[in-house]
Amino acid sequence: MSDQYIEKAEETILHTYDRYPVVFDRGEGVHLYDVDGKEYLDFAAGIAVQSLGYHNREYTQALKDQIDKLTHISNLYYTVPMMEAAQKVVKASGLSRVFFTNSGAEAIEGALKAAKKYAYERDGKADHEIIAMEHSFHGRTMGALSVTGNEKYQAPFRPLIPGVRFAVYNDLESVKAQITEKTCAIILETVQGEGGIRPATEDFLKGVKALCREHDLLLILDEIQCGMGRTGWMFAWQEYGVEPDIMTCAKAIGCGVPVGAFVLGERAAKGSLKSGDHGTTYGGNPFACAAVSKVFDLYEKEHILENVRTVGAYLTERLDALVEKYDFLKERRGKGMIQGLEVTGRSAGEIAARALSNGLVVITAGGNVLRFVPPLVITKEDVDCMVERLERSF
C-alpha cells in the first residue's frame, strides 16, 4: 500500500525533499504506525516538534474545543487564546512582548526586522548589518536564508539580503572582528541544530552578550529547535543565564500545529517595531494559540522539564557508550534531548535509512551526524529500545 501512495505523491508534490519511503498514518505516545500497520519508535518527533508525543488526549481535546468556537478572525481583533498564550510565553521566558507567526522562518524574519528597526530608531540610518554564524540554520525564506551560514543552501538564490557578516561559532574573537559601526545585531542558535548539534559554550555566549551591551547591539537567540524544554530548561539560554534581546521559537511551541513566535525584551520592544511595521493574517489565530496555551499547561502538569533532565542524562550515557563501542562513531554532542552522534567512514544517512527499516525513526544533521530529538515524554525503556534498534542498524 505504501508504494501506491508514494507513486501518487510523486506525481503531484513538488520534489524538494528526498523523503524516506514510508507513509505514516497515525501516532500514539512515542510510536508511529504506517499505512501497512508497521510500528516505529520515534526519535525524531517531526524534527523536534512533537514534544508531547502523539495523541495526547488533553491537547487534542483543547484543539477540538477551539475548532467548535473560532479558528480565525485576523489580527484586527483580540482573542482570549492569543492573550492567554502570550502571557504564558512571556512568563516562561521572562521577556516582555511576543509576536506570533506561522513558522520558525517567519519568526526569524520578524526578529531581523525588529533589530533593523531598533537601529533605525536609534540613528535614523537604514544600512545596518547583522552578524550571523557559520554552519548555522535559520530557515529558507530570503531573510532567514541570508543569515544561514551554509553555502549549499544560499548559492542558487543570490543575491540575498545584503549586510550580513559571518563569524565562527564559539569563537569570540571571530565575532569581534566582524563588528563595524553598521552592526545592529548578532544572531545565533543557542544549540546549533542543522549544523551538527553543537551547543554554545558558556564563555562564548556570555562574551557575545557583553559585546552587544558594549556596542548597543541586539542579541537574537534562535531557540526554534533547541528551545521548549529540549535541553532540560524551557529555553536553552536559561541554563547559561544569558538573556537575549530577541528570542525566536517555533516547532514544539505548538506541538504539531504550525505556529512560531519572536519574543522581545523590554529594550527591544520599546525601541523597535511600531504599529504598521509588521503584520500577518494568520499569525496568532485562536486555533494556533489554543495549542500554544495548552502546550505550556501540559509541560507543567506532566513535569516535562524534569523528565528531560532525568531521561536526557540516561540518553547521554547510552550514546556515550556507543561512541566507546564503535570506532566509526567519532563523538557525541548535545544537551538533554537534542543529541548528535558524528559518524566517520560511513554515511549517517544510510544508517538512518537502515534504522527506519528496523522500526526506528532517527534523522541526520550537517557534518554526517545522526540526530536524536525524540518526544520529551520518552522513558529510559524507550532509550534502551532505541539503542537496540540502532545497533541492529549498524
Contacts of 58 (CB under 8 A, 6+ apart): 294, 297, 298
C-beta separation of 81 from 286 below 8 A: yes
pLDDT tens digits for range 4-55: 999 999 999 999 999 999 999 999 999 999 999 999 999 999 999 999 999 9
Dist. CA 251–CA 330, nearest whole Å: 29
pLDDT at 277 over 90: yes
Dist. CA 164–CA 160, nearest whole Å: 9
Q: How confident is the model at residue 1 (pLDDT cuts 50, 70, 90)?
A: confident
Dist. CA 107–CA 115, nearest whole Å: 12
Dist. CA 365–CA 372, nearest whole Å: 10
| Identity at 73, one-letter amino acid code | I
Dist. CA 251–CA 258, nearest whole Å: 7
pLDDT at 365 over 90: yes
For 51-77, give the DSSP string.
TT-B--HHHHHHHHHHHTT-S---TTS
pTM greater than the 0.95 cutoff: yes
What CATH code is assigned to 2-57+303-393?
A: 3.90.1150.10
How many helices and strands, by DSSP H and E, does the chain display? Answer: 15, 17
In the chain, where the domains are located: 2-57+303-393, 70-301
2-57+303-393 matches 70-301 in fold: no
- Pick the range with the lowest mean pLDDT from 5-9, 55-59, 85-89, 350-354: 5-9
C-beta separation of 220 from 111 below 8 A: yes
pLDDT the model gives residue 78: 97
pLDDT at 358 over 90: yes
pLDDT at 260 over 90: yes
C-beta separation of 243 from 94 below 8 A: yes
- Provide the CATH topology of domain 70-301: Aspartate Aminotransferase; domain 2 (3.40.640)
**Helix, strand, or coil here: 219?**
strand
What percent of the chain lies above the pLDDT cut of 70? 100
C-beta separation of 143 from 220 below 8 A: no
pLDDT the model gives residue 328: 98
pLDDT tens digits for range 142-200: 999 999 999 999 999 999 999 999 999 999 999 999 999 999 999 999 999 999 999 99
